[in-house]
Amino acid sequence: MKIAYITYAGDIRYSAANGFNEYNDVLPFLQNKGLDIEPAIWDDPAVDWTRYDVALLKTPWDYHQKIDAFKTWLDKIESLNICLLNDYKTVRWNLDKHYLKEIIADGFDVIPSAFLEQGWKGDLLPLFEELKTAAIIIKPCVSGGSKNTIVVRKNEAAAGYDEVVTLLADGAYIVQPLMHEVQNGEWSYTFFNGQYSHTILKKPKAGDFRVQQIYGGSIETLYPSHEEIAHAATYVERYAKNCLYARVDGLMVNGHFVLMELELIEPYLYLSYGENAVEKYYEAILTKLL
C-alpha cells in the first residue's frame, strides 16, 4: 500500500526537542518501519496522485492561504479513491472555525465565541458586552499559526475599527475574549485512534498571547489526571472518534478545561514530548491501514 506523506513547499520552523525533530525524523522513522511512504507536496502539479492508495496529512501548512486550491485538491484525490488520514468529512468540517458553533450548540465547554462574516462593518462595542471582556482576540475562521490575528481592547475600539473592517473584507473571523488564563499556558492533548497519547503545555513569552515557538513560546510535557484526560476525550469521542490523530487545545479556567480548538487537519503532534509517542503514531497508522 503506497502512502503519500503530505507536506508543503514552505519552511518548517520547529526545532528538535528531546533528541527528535518531528519534521525531519518522522518520515524516515516510518520508512524504517517498513511502510511504503514518501513525501508529496499537496499542491505540486508534478505529483502523480494515481500512484497512491493513502494520503497522510502531516504538514500542508499553507492550506489556509490557498483554501480554494486545497478544497479542489481534496476533491481530486477523493475522486481517485485515495484514503485520506484524517478522513475527508472530518477535514472539510475542521477547515473553518465555524465548526465551533456546532460544539457550542451541543453543550460542550468552549471559549465564548462570536462570528463576524465577510464584509462586516458593524459595531465593535457590543462584542465586548456579549463576550463579557475588556479585550477581544479576532482571528480568521480559516487560518493557522496566528496569521492575521489581532487583539482589540475596549478602550481602543474606535482606533482599531478600520483594521478590523479591512481584515473582514477578505473573509469571516471568529471573536473571543482575550483570556488571561493564556498566560498560564495552553493545554494540548494528543490522541491517536481515539486513544490518549500525551499532553503538552504551550506558554507565551511575557507580554504576548501567542504560544507558538516562532513567537518565543515555550513547551513542556504535562501529566494530567485521569479525570482531565477523560474530559478531553469527550471531545474526541464526539467529533473525532475515527480520526488517526486529534489534538484538543484549550485553557484551564477555574480548574476546568475549556476548548479553544480541535486540530484535526495538520497539527504539530509534539511527538518528542510524549513517551513512545512516535511509536504510538506508527501503530495507529498501521491500524488504519488494516
> What are the structural domains of the chain?
2-94 (3.40.50), 100-108+181-289 (3.30.470.20), 114-178 (3.30.1490.20)
What SS3 string covers 10-30? CCCCCCCECCECHHHHHHHHH
What is the rounded CA–CA span in Å between residue 192 and residue 198? 10
Cα–Cα distance measured from residue 4 to residue 72, given in angstroms and rounded to the nearest whole number: 17
Strands 36-41 and 54-57: unpaired
Question: What are the tens digits of pLDDT across the range 111-160?
Answer: 999 999 999 999 999 999 999 999 999 999 998 766 789 999 999 999 99
Instruction: Spell out the residues 6+ positions from residue 81 whose beta carbon is closer than 8 angstroms to its own.
Output: none
Mean pLDDT computed over every residue of the chain:
94
- Confidence band, pLDDT 50/70/90 cuts, at residue 43: very high
What is the structure's pLDDT at 45? 98
> Nearest to residue 131, comparing CAs of 152, 149, 147, 146?
152
Alpha helix segments (H runs only) across 1-144: 22-32, 67-79, 88-94, 99-105, 125-130
CA distance linking residue 81 with residue 83, whole number of Å: 6
> Among residues of the chain, what percentage have pLDDT more than 70?
96
* Interval 266-279 mean pLDDT: 95
CB atoms within 10 A of CB 176: 20
Q: What pLDDT is recorded for position 222?
A: 97
Name the DSSP letter for residue 180: G
What is the per-residue pLDDT for 214?
Answer: 67
